[in-house]
Structures are given as C-alpha cells and as structure tokens.
Structure 1
C-alpha cells in the first residue's frame, strides 16, 4: 500500500497542480503493467487519478521518459499531473480515463489516428534520448536508414543479450545474418515515422467518445510497420482498424512480410524478459533465412 508520507506528498503536489486543496480519500490497487505497482486514487470530492509507482534505482528515469513520450504523441494520451521522486519511489500520476465501447466507429477512428501519427517524420531513425521497452533499456542512437537502425539498435542488441544468457542458441545467429542481408528488399526506403513502439492490445484505451487514447509508449522515429506488426502479436485488432489505416496511409504490398520481421524485436524482448516460451516464435521466423 501507499505510505502516509507518500500520500501527503501526492496531496501537496496535486493541490499545487489544480491550485486548490486535493484530499486523497483512498487508493485501490489496479493493473499498471508488468513492472509497476499501480493504484486508482479517489479524492474526497469524487475525482479519480491513476498512480504508478516504481524504483528509481532499478529503472532510472523510467517515468520521466514515459512523460516525454506521452507529450510527443499527437493522438490523445492521459495528462501527466505529477512525475517526481519521493523517498525510495518514483511516482507518476495521470488523469483517469473511463473506458467506452470498442465499436466499429472506434476502430475506424483508431486506424485513422495512427495513420496520421505515422506521417509525422523526423531527421532520421532513432530519438534524441534512450527509453525503455518494458523493463529493458531501449537504445535509440540515430541512423540514416531503417535497415541499419533495425539491425544495430534492435535485433543485434536483443540477440546478443539472448545468446549471452543462453536463451537463444548461437546457431541461430547465422539465420539472423541471412535476415540482415534480406532487410533492404523487405523494407524499401521510406521516411521515418513517429511510432508508439509498444502498440499491443494492452496499451490503448477507448474513451467514452469512441476515440483512442495511447498509453505506455516506447516512442522513436522508426518504420511504421513496427506499430502495425505489434497489433497482430497477441491477436489482431478489428478489421476496420486496418481498413481505415490503409485508406489514410497506403500499406505496401508486402506488409504482411514486413510485420512478421518487425515482430522479431518484441519477440526477442519477450524472450529476454520471460524466458524460453518465446523461443519457438523467434526461431520460426528465423528459419526462413
């Protein structure tokens, strides 16, 4: 549970934000991702806020980088109200967004919004700061091409971690080398897109106006296939999502192949975080090369 000192600290900071007295009446544990402790805060006047708590020594700058990511996304995101370190905890307080119904209209709105976001481009592939993908550091050093960035900053780093820990047998590195040779033909040159970076089904909300709200970003300027691929990783989104996206930002003919290869990165992440149950998914893709 939240300590009395932390509760008083949050009341003080929220009172400063809203320029009126905020009294927290209670805190209920809720889901906040695999590495955070999270609470739904309710106040004496019936307001609600979402609180994440984590260890600043284990994950330095985690919430500061999450705040920067949320602020960079043109699609609606929760407003960040407090992002500070108090004692042994880093704290992130955001507005609480009630969920609405995921109608076909919502999925159309979502597809159109993501297509618009992906048309925001940058000076290259990467970002001017590193962030996190789950609990793993995500390195975003700039590269001029997607092929170089994807190979060096995504696949090679995660494959090395997996082989160093024995999770990925070293014989599969030959298949990775074969994949690297094919990457230019799989991903023809395309401008960098602003991507969410971790767009699985748990990282968005449908608000009560049937509009998408994005949460838990791992942003950078990358290839738009990384977001679209992740929407298929644990079961595809509604067909209207893809139809609306395609209508506003045409998909390439080989988009299915691009998505399969792009998903190697989150699969390697999952292999490194959660162990051997993800090895078969990684090796099934690598067998092609």
Structure 2
C-alpha cells in the first residue's frame, strides 16, 4: 500500500494493518486516542489514531474528519489532509515537526485571523460534536452568542463536573454566577470558523515554519474562544506575537482581554468533567476572574 492507493481505497487500511503489511511506530497523540506513525511501501508516512479499547463512540472519527476538512476549506491555517475516516481509525497527512519560531508564530496569528473570518452559517455545526472523550452539543443555533455559549458550552460540563464530584457546591455556585451574567460581558459577534479546542498542544509547529491545526472540536463559535484557549496550560510559544499579528488582520473587540477567563472556562470545565477534580482549582480561579471582569 502506497499513498496513492490509500487515497483511492481508504477502506482497505484496517486489512493491511491486520495483516502487518504496514510498519507502525507509536507516537504521542494525546490523552484520548492511541496514535501511531504508519510507514507505507513508498516510504511516505501517515499519522493514524485509533480508540484505545473497544469501539470508538459513534461518529467520533467522522466528526474529527469533518471538522478538519471544514477548517482546511478556509485555505488559511494549514490543516492536515484526511486520508481515512472510518469507524475505527482516522489517518491523516504526516507533518514533520519543527521549532516554534517568532516568524512562524506571527504567520500563524495572521492565518488564524483569516480562518476565523471565513465564518460559519450558525453557532454549532451540522455534524455531531465531541471535545476530548466527551460529546458536545453542536445543534446549529442563531444566537445570541452569550446565550448559546452559556447553555451549550458551559452548563452541560458544569453539570457533569458536579455530578461526578469534581466541583464542590461552592464552585458550582461561582460558575453559575458567570452563566447568569454572561449577557452583560459584551463582545457579541456573529459566528466565526473556530477550532474549538485550541489549547497549545493542538498547534503542531511544522518544519515548514507554520503552525498546523490538529485535534479540532470545530464549529461556528466566538473567535475570542480560540485565542483564550491558546493562553491555557502555559500558553502557546510567542503568544503575544500571535495575538499582535492576528490583530493586524482582524482587530479584536474592545474589552477582549477581560473576557479571556470567560472563554477559557469552557475548556476547563471539560477537563473537570472528563478528568476530575485535578482541574477544580483552575475552574474556580477562572470563574472568579470572569466575575471580576
């Protein structure tokens, strides 16, 4: 099997893997899926993801493929080509890693702005939603953004987190306070074409001196959410250069910095919902910062 054959017959990949006709090398791929580098007969490489045990949730890989293709259609930030999207495996273009240079960061900021400006027909998306191992409600909605974000991106993961004991009753009260006042935070905008899970680990810095987008939870959302997520967990390399270059192309609305905690709260609640109380302190501190803004 070479790359041309794989493109023409993606449904054959599981058979070739079962019969060990393709070399597999484990690579880092996140906390949810098992990731491998596949070396084909023509020497080309492919990045593959599989569910670690049993069957993946229905539409899991199809959803990621749809999001990757939609972001790629914008023709701005580079996104790996999807070769295979089957129930049990996703195979993508292999990207050679490189250093995150200041120049690459600035280009990424400009390209991210261009992708956001490509827009979306509504908040949400026409495909099933997942973020990490959890489902996400992508039912298309016209907005306003604040109402959609509160009910589709904050409240569901607050409830899951509370039910599993990852947040205390006091924590829940603080987050509910954010939800109650979200309409007064400003920054309402029409839907942008967003990655949706853009913590720094989901930007792959390539040897081509560009930042590539991987592992999206793509949908129509608020562009500030992508930028706020880039500041989480230590922050993306050269973050201020990314933001400055972004603003050259698409200036952000007044008060955007004060809204960063609000936009970060979604992904942090996903972490308490999926992984437990380890992230409880981050949720509480971020919710309190959102209330002070």
Q: Which residue of 2 aligns with 1:252?
A: 253
Answering whether residue 226 of structure 2 is matched by residue 224 of structure 1, we say no
Q: Which runs of 5+ in 1 are unaligned?
A: 1-10
TM-score (norm 2): 0.86
Q: Which residue of 1 aligns with 2:103?
A: 105
Q: Which runs of 5+ in 2 are unaligned?
A: none
Alpha-carbon shift at residue 181 of structure 1 (Å) = 3.5
Answering whether residue 33 of structure 2 is matched by residue 64 of structure 1, we say no
Structure 1 stretches of 4+ moved >6 Å: none
Alpha-carbon shift at residue 231 of structure 1 (Å) = 0.5
Alpha-carbon shift at residue 93 of structure 1 (Å) = 1.3
Answering whether residue 18 of structure 2 is matched by residue 17 of structure 1, we say no
Answering whether residue 83 of structure 2 is matched by residue 81 of structure 1, we say yes
Q: Which residue of 2 aligns with 1:213?
A: 212
Distance in 1, matches of 2:232 and 2:67, equals: 22
Q: Which residue of 1 aligns with 2:92?
A: 94
Q: Which residue of 1 aligns with 2:136?
A: 138
Q: Which residue of 2 aligns with 1:8?
A: none
Would the aligned equivalents of 2:154 and 2:179 in 1 still touch at CA under 8 Å?
Answer: no
For 1:235-246, list aligned pairs within 5 A: 235-237=234-236, 238=238, 239-246=240-247
Distance in 2, matches of 1:274 and 1:16, equals: 36
Alpha-carbon shift at residue 25 of structure 1 (Å) = 4.6
Alpha-carbon shift at residue 203 of structure 1 (Å) = 1.0
Q: Say which one has the larger Rg.
A: 1
Would the aligned equivalents of 1:56 and 1:62 in 2 still touch at CA under 8 Å?
Answer: no
Summarize deviations over 1:188-235 as a string: whole Å, max 9, x none: 321111110011121122233212211111011111111001111112
Q: Which residue of 2 aligns with 1:286?
A: 287
Give the superposed CA RMSD: 2.3
Q: Which moved more, 1:107-116 or 1:207-216?
A: 207-216
Distance in 2, matches of 1:236 and 1:12, equals: 38
Instruction: Describe the SS at the equivalent of 2:169.
Output: coil
Answering whether residue 247 of structure 2 is matched by residue 275 of structure 1, we say no
After superposition, the Cα gap between the structure-2 partners of 1:172 and 1:102, relative to the gap in structure 1 and judged at 3 Å, is closer
Alpha-carbon shift at residue 133 of structure 1 (Å) = 0.5
Q: Which residue of 1 aligns with 2:163?
A: 164
TM-score (norm 1): 0.87
1:46 corresponds, among 37, 43, 46, to: 43
